[in-house]
Amino acid sequence: MILSSLQRLRDYFDSGITKNYDFRKAQLKKLKASILKHEQDLYDALYADLKKSPEETWVTETGLVISELNAAIKNLYQWMQPETVDTNLLNLPSTSKILKEPLGVVLIIGPWNYPFQLLINPLVGAIAAGNCVVLKPSEFASATEAVMKKVVEDVFPSEYILYVQGDGAKVVPEMMNNFSFDHVFYTGSTSVGRIIYKMAAERLVPVTLELGGKSPCVVESDANIKVAARRIAMTKFSNAGQMCVAPDYVIIHESIKEKFISAIKETVEQFFGGKPEQSENYGKIINEKQFDRIAGYLSNGKIVFGGRTDRKNLFIEPTLLDEVKVNDAVMNDEIFGPVMPILTFKSKGEALNIIAGHPAPLAFYVFTSSKAKENDWLNSVASGGSCVNNTSWHLTNHNLPFGGRGFSGTGNYHGKYSFDTFTHKKAVLKTPTWFDPAIKYPPFNGKLKLFKWLIR
Ligand code: NAD
């Protein structure tokens, strides 16, 4: 059944209709209109799944996608244009250009933590690039999954954009093992990313893997402590810490640790009041399985702030853990919850040793007022992306490529980078026939000197 649906996507793509500029632009506009039509349904769904407020939903989910759509609609014509490039001496008087070809039928698989934007943002790039798309949302954010189905199916026929629900461990292999996609774009855990990569390798399908990991946050002795506390708490406790680019743990210069802890306590109270469970600005954990996993970390180190939980309401208080050891569980796994371990350093080498336990994170953050230290840290830690005196916001600028490296992922997207991810760059060399010197053809004897001049 699913295979015949996939074949219909292939036929639709082969008809050539999706390659047309006007077609692509019209689909982007339809998607935007459908999102805005279902704006309230999306607020309700994201509240039901993760207790996100409408404001948080606009900034981190719907509004983010609308801004990607606006950029794609505005720039699509320019993105699609062939690029003329220089031709080397050997090939003159040929001309050279790069054509932008759609890939074909692509599969996009999303996670549950930002269930809307992490599925629909890549869709924007895939449509802009002229592809047919299979969308596989996460089954764990079920209210959002149901509304996204309406958003998509209201405006797109299933032979163009196919919305496939169900248990990922079942439906994804069913598709990937029986159908050759032209690209698979996966966002989720590193362990499932490895399964996706293996299945793709069997059919030599290219992949983008947007994975997770432990993103470190270094706070130097010369940092603005108050601002650092605010910006770290903001993204560490947003969506109850269930954010792939949340600062996973803080490594702070020993000399300012106590001041920083006080600043974080004050900040959290300002953000969510004394009872975050009653705050409309504080989210909930997605389900019991994740709750139990995160709550398990509370026995590591010493709780200096927070620590209360309520399993029935999937609530875990913003929590600070001191005296954590590098081999504690909370320092081995990606936390993906509102629990923040604080480790200290005296010398940069000590901090680098801690970070080296989890190389190439999705993001690396440093707070410092010294330009020299900023450069030194950026040069010392390889990561997917980075912020200086900030955390996570780099992902909201669509002029920056967003993606990981190594265990945190491969490939990137957002804005023009999304278009490029779903586009094949076809190299074309065009050679006129009026000039066809014999030197280019055998016999080659005696031509070495000339070849050395031409190819250098
Ligand atoms: P997950 O890996 O459990 O699931 C993601 C998707 O994969 C879902 O759609 C699911 O149905 C599907 N899936 C699950 N098991 C599968 C299998 N065996 N075969 C094929 N598909 C399968 O991830 P999650 O728990 O939803 O997301 C949390 C993880 O995602 C965290 O590690 C987080 O850091 C990471 N993440 C990364 C980014 C990023 O942009 N890099 C963004 C959000 C989340």
Question: In 3-state terms, what secondary structure has residue 25?
Answer: helix
366 and 328 housed in the same domain: yes
Tokens of 50: 């993760």
List beta partners, residue 389: none
195 and 276 housed in the same domain: no
Backbone phi, psi, residue 65, to 5°: -70, -40
Q: Is residue 20 part of a domain?
A: yes
Q: Is residue 447 part of a domain?
A: no
pLDDT for position 204:
98
- How many other CB atoms sit within 10 Å of the CB of residue 377? 23
80 and 116 housed in the same domain: yes
CA of 191 to the centre of ligand 1 (A): 8
240 and 174 housed in the same domain: no
Please, which pLDDT band fits residue 159 given cuts at 50, 70 and 90?
very high
Q: Which of 56, 132, 217, 244 is catalytic?
A: 244
**Average pLDDT rounded to a whole number, residues 337-356:** 96
CA distances from residue 337 to 34, 122, 226, 365 in whole angstroms, order as listed: 32, 25, 23, 18
307 and 331 housed in the same domain: yes
CA of 416 to the centre of ligand 1 (A): 24
Closest of 183, 193, 60 to residue 116, by C-alpha: 60
94 and 189 housed in the same domain: yes
> How many separate domains does the chain show?
2
Residue with CA at minimum distance from ligand 1 atom 40: 210
189 and 49 housed in the same domain: yes
110 lines ligand 1 (CB under 6 A): yes
Backbone phi, psi, residue 83, to 5°: -100, 125
193 and 47 housed in the same domain: yes
* pLDDT tens digit sequence for 296-329: 999 999 999 999 999 999 999 999 999 999 999 9
Q: What is the share, in percent, of the chain residues with pLDDT greater than 90?
A: 98
pLDDT for position 291:
98
Q: Which atom of ligand 1 is nearest to the CA of 114?
A: 43
CATH number, domain containing residue 287: 3.40.309.10
pLDDT for position 1:
74
412 and 390 housed in the same domain: no
Q: Is residue 449 part of a domain?
A: no
* pLDDT tens digit sequence for 66-89: 999 999 999 999 999 999 999 999
Q: Is residue 24 part of a domain?
A: yes
Please, which pLDDT band fits residue 20 given cuts at 50, 70 and 90?
very high
pLDDT for position 99:
98
* Strand 302-305, strand 319-322: pairing: antiparallel
Q: Which atom of ligand 1 is nearest to the CA of 403?
A: 41
CATH number, domain containing residue 166: 3.40.605.10
Query: Which domain range does residue 49 map to?
Result: 2-211+405-428
- How many other CB atoms sit within 10 Å of the CB of residue 314? 18
Please, which pLDDT band fits residue 213 given cuts at 50, 70 and 90?
confident
Q: Render 64-128 in DSSP notation, one character per residue.
A: HHHHHHHHHHHHHHHHHSPEEE---GGGTT-EEEEEEEE--EEEEE--SSSTTHHHHHHHHHHHH
416 and 372 housed in the same domain: no
118 and 261 housed in the same domain: no
Length of the chain equals 456
Q: Render 307-365 in DSSP notation, one character per residue.
A: --EETTTTEE--EEEES--TTSGGGTS---SSEEEEEEESSHHHHHHHHHTS-S-SEEE
Q: Which mutation among 184, 189, 238, 333 tests ligand 1's pocket best, with the greatest number of atoms within 8 A of CB?
A: 189
Q: At what angle do helices 39-50 and 142-153 cross, to 10 degrees?
A: 160
Q: Is residue 62 part of a domain?
A: yes
Tokens of 338: 């509102």
* pLDDT tens digit sequence for 87-122: 999 999 999 999 999 999 999 999 999 999 999 999
Q: Is residue 415 part of a domain?
A: yes
Residue with CA at minimum distance from ligand 1 atom 39: 210
pLDDT for position 16:
98
pLDDT for position 347:
95
| Dihedral (Cα; 214, 220, 226, 229), 10-degree rounding | 10
313 and 378 housed in the same domain: yes
**Average pLDDT rounded to a whole number, residues 364-382:** 97
| Dihedral (Cα; 295, 301, 305, 309), 10-degree rounding | 10
Q: Is there a catalytic annotation at residue 174? A: no
Q: Which of 56, 145, 210, 334 is catalytic?
A: 210
Residue with CA at minimum distance from ligand 1 atom 11: 168
pLDDT for position 15:
98
Q: Is residue 434 part of a domain?
A: no
- Across the chain, mean pLDDT equals 97
* pLDDT tens digit sequence for 410-455: 999 999 999 999 999 999 999 999 999 998 999 999 999 999 998 9
State the pTM of this model.
0.96
Q: Is there a catalytic annotation at residue 387? A: no
Taking each continuous run of H as one helix and of E as one strand, the counts in the chain are 16, 18
Q: Is residue 357 part of a domain?
A: yes
